[in-house]
Amino acid sequence: MILKKIEHPETAKTLFELGVIKDITIKNRKVSLTLNLPLKEVPIKNFLIETIKRALKEEAPDIIIEINLKEMGPEEKLKFIKMAREGWGGQE
């Protein structure tokens, strides 16, 4: 599935690996998913939403997309931070 291949723009990890894309449901022509963010208002939120929509529309132009936003819990945030650091592409 294309959603499992979308990379985080600042790490060498995919959004799926980082736990950012969750709860994927596909029914008829509708895809629903949860965008599980470390902070609900993370600066790249809109970029991530548009990237996901674009990838899905390239696969199926007539698809209906529903993206729900959720903030990660404490354990999810720790796991996200650890994985993001492992795949970080920038300078520390």
For the stretch 28-78, pLDDT in tens is 999 999 999 999 889 999 999 999 999 999 999 999 999 999 999 999 999
Beta-strand runs (E) in the chain: 21-27, 30-37, 64-71
Residue 88 confidence (pLDDT) above 80:
no
In a domain, 51, yes or no: yes
For residue 40, give the CATH number of its domain.
3.30.300
In a domain, 92, yes or no: no
In a domain, 61, yes or no: yes
The CA angle 27-37-54, to the nearest 5 degrees, is 50
In a domain, 25, yes or no: yes
In a domain, 64, yes or no: yes
In a domain, 90, yes or no: no
pTM for the predicted model, two decimal places = 0.86
**How much is the pLDDT for 89?**
57
10: domain range? 2-85
**How much is the pLDDT for 91?**
42
**How much is the pLDDT for 63?**
95
In a domain, 34, yes or no: yes
In a domain, 36, yes or no: yes
**How much is the pLDDT for 10?**
86
Strand order in 30-37's β-sheet?
A: 21-27, 30-37, 64-71
The count of domains in the chain is: 1
